[in-house]
Amino acid sequence: MTRTAPVVAHTRAELLQARKELSSRDVAVVMTMGALHDGHAQLVRRARAEHDHVIVTIFLNPLQFGPKEDLSRYPRTFDEDMRICTEAEVDVVFAPTPDVVYPDGDPGVRISAGPLGMVLEGQSRPGHFDGMLTVVAKLLHLSGARTAYFGQKDAQQLLLIRRMVKDLDFPVEVVAVPTVREPDGLAMSSRNTYLTQSDREVALCLSRALQVGADAAVFGPSAIRRAAREVLVEEPLALVDYLVLVHPTTLQDVPEWYRGEALLAVAARVGTTRLIDNTPVLVGPGGGRRDVFSPAVMSDSAPLA
């Protein structure tokens, strides 16, 4: 079946016009940096199934890249992105350049991620989460969407967006979508294109460590951490930045007595590529791996103590 390609908006005026032409105000947004893969497509499919209209944003946000990060080499695959958006029946693709999003240059006023933005990814990528939240806030305003879909793949990003929406009273519902993986377990990521064939083999230790860790969930936190770490030490070519089992809303290490939902997360450099992966885990009796956190955890906004 031939599908109609989405309307493409590059400017604010074009986006406004495209929004006006939508037949209802039930609009969901999926924000991306392009180089779309099936993980992104899954977010769009969920949004498509649950709302009248879907806007996809494709924007490489300079504000969330550090000076030594991969902004200049980040894959740009606009034609293929459009094919995926057409296939997924996206209504509007908003693909602005930085001067459209930041017409006055770097914004002096930004959203601050606070203490939750300084641990884990925030420790390795100073300023990343302030830049991410600032653009997410802008794209929520510009898209006018009342529901936004984000991947569990970027667990800390998802948590911070939930906190921003809650703490700053954004009239927006945030929906978490489970991580989409390759058949061998590797979490899909636009950055996987950087991996050589041998890097890719090495990279499998991340998802394997999460699985083996989660399999030890009934035995408690130290068993989970130990099991996951044993997988990673077997792979010296993966330079581990962190492997943590933390509380899902405070991101603090869970103590040995803890039973309940926790986030098992890992970051490692493989070749020239920094990879992250995670899984929600239920720690304790009947425990094990979960796709996403329960609604109770997701609506909890306990601050970092």
> Catalytic residue positions?
40
The CA angle 186-189-192, to the nearest 5 degrees, is 75
| Contact map string, positions 159 to 178, toward ligand AMP, x by CB under 6 A | ------------------x-
Give CA–CA dist 42/24, Å, rounded.
23
Shortest Cβ distance from residue 23 to ligand AMP (Å)?
26
Shortest Cβ distance from residue 58 to ligand AMP (Å)?
8
Give CA–CA dist 279/261, Å, rounded.
10
Give CA–CA dist 121/133, Å, rounded.
14
Can you name the residues that pair with 294 across neighbouring β-strands?
Answer: none
| Contact map string, positions 39 to 78, toward ligand AMP, x by CB under 6 A | xx-xx-----------------------------------
147 is an interface residue for ligand AMP by CB under 6 A: no
Q: Which is nearer to ligand AMP, 155 or 246 (CB)?
A: 155
- Residues binding ligand AMP: number (CB under 6 A): 18
- Alpha carbons within 13 angstroms on the beta-carbon side of residue 73 total 10
216: left (phi over 0), alpha (psi -120 to 50) or beta: alpha
Burial of 34 (0-12, 13-18, 19+ CB in 10 A): buried
180 is an interface residue for ligand AMP by CB under 6 A: yes
* Contact window for ligand AMP (CB under 6 A) among 11-19, 28-36, 266-274, 281-289: 28-36
The CA angle 37-40-41, to the nearest 5 degrees, is 85
Report the chain's terminal Cα–Cα distance, integer Å: 54
Shortest Cβ distance from residue 152 to ligand AMP (Å)?
6
| Contact map string, positions 96 to 135, toward ligand AMP, x by CB under 6 A | ----------------------------------------
Q: Which is nearer to ligand AMP, 160 or 227 (CB)?
A: 160
Give CA–CA dist 47/32, Å, rounded.
14
188 is an interface residue for ligand AMP by CB under 6 A: yes
Residues that bind ligand AMP (CB under 6 A): 31-33, 39-40, 42-43, 150-151, 153-154, 177, 179-180, 187-190
